[in-house]
Amino acid sequence: MEWQALGLSLAVATRSVLFSLPLAIAVAWVLARGRFAGRALLDAFVHLPLVLPPVAVGYLLLVLFGNRGPIGGWLHEQFGLQLVFSRSGAALATAVMSFPLMVRAIRVSLEHIDPGLEDAARTLGAGAFDRFRSVTLPLMLPGILAGAVTAFAASLGEFGAVITFVSNIPGETRTLPLALYTALQMPGGDAVAARLAALSFALGFAGLALAELLARRVRALLGP
C-alpha cells in the first residue's frame, strides 16, 4: 500500500505541476504587470482555493468536469477523456488547490525585478520576447522554482478535493493522504497509518526545504 500510494502521489503531483506551471507564470505576469479594471477580482478568484474548503472545490470540479458537466461532458464526447474517477482528474484537483501557491511565489519574484533592467534592454533594441527571455525570465527563476516545488509538496498532501472529485480507487486515485485515511479505517491498520504519516511528513518537509534551497542557490548565481 505504501509504495503504490507513494508512486501514484509522485505521478499525480508531477502532472499537476507540469500542467499548471505555464498558466501560473502567465497569471502571475498579468497580476504583477497588468493595469486593468477587475484585476482585484481576478486576484481574489485565483486565491479562492486557499480559503474554500477543499471538499467544496472538489464538488465544483465534479459539477464542471463530471461526465454530465458542461466541460467534462464535452471532453468526454469529443475526445473520450474522462477526468472524474481517474488519475488525470486527481492531477486536476491537486493543480487547482496548489495553483495559488505557485502564482504567489512567481508574482512576488516578478514584483522584485527592477524595471530599469528591462528598460535598458529596450533601449538596446531588444523586443518584448527577447527582454522576457534574456532579462525577466532569469530574474524570476527563483520564484518559479520555489513555487513549483512548493506546489509539488502541497499536491502530495491534498485530500479533500481529490477524494470528492475522483473518489478513493486503489491504484488509480488513492494517493498518500487517501491511503492514510483508508489505513485508519482498517482493523489493525495503525502500523500502516503510522508509516504513511511519517512518509507524508518527510516528503512535505523535504519539498519545502528544497524550495528554499533552490531559491537561495539561484539568487546566489544571479548575484545581488
The CATH number given to whatever domain includes residue 210 is 1.10.3720.10
Q: Name the pTM for this structure.
A: 0.88
Question: Is the four-CA dihedral 191, 197, 202, 203 of positive or negative sign?
Answer: positive
Rounded CA separation 98/90 (Å)? 12
| pLDDT reading at 215 higher than 80 | no
- Which positions ≥6 away from 123 have C-beta within 8 Å? none
46 inside domain = no
Residue 224: predicted pLDDT: 56
145 inside domain = yes
47 inside domain = no
Share of the chain above pLDDT 70, in %: 98
Residue 207: predicted pLDDT: 80
60 inside domain = yes
Is 8 or 217 the better-scoring residue by pLDDT?
A: 8
Residue 223: predicted pLDDT: 61
156 inside domain = yes
Q: Tell me, what amino acid is at 52? A: L
Average pLDDT over residues 116-130: 78
| pLDDT reading at 23 higher than 80 | yes
187 backbone dihedrals φ, ψ, rounded to 5°? -60, 125
| pLDDT reading at 214 higher than 80 | no
217 inside domain = yes
Residue 96: predicted pLDDT: 96
Average pLDDT over residues 165-191: 91
| pLDDT reading at 170 higher than 80 | yes
Rounded CA separation 11/109 (Å)? 27
Q: Which domain holds residue 107?
A: 2-30+52-222
Domain count across the chain: 1
Residue 222: predicted pLDDT: 63
| Model confidence pLDDT, tens digit, residues 125-147 | 777 777 887 788 888 888 898 88
| Model confidence pLDDT, tens digit, residues 35-85 | 888 889 999 999 999 999 999 999 999 999 998 899 999 999 999 889 999
66 inside domain = yes
CA-only gyration radius of the chain, Å: 20
36 inside domain = no
Q: DSSP readout, the chain? A: -HHHHHHHHHHHHHHHHHHHHHHHHHHHHHHHH---TTHHHHHHHHTGGGTS-HHHHHHHHHHHHSTTSTTHHHHHHHH----TTSHHHHHHHHHHHHHHHHHHHHHHHHHTS-HHHHHHHHHTT--HHHHIIIIIHHHHHHHHHHHHHHHHHHHHT--HHHHHHH---TTTT--HHHHHHHHHHSTT-HHHHHHHHHHHHHHHHHHHHHHHHHHHHHHHHH--
Share of the chain above pLDDT 90, in %: 49
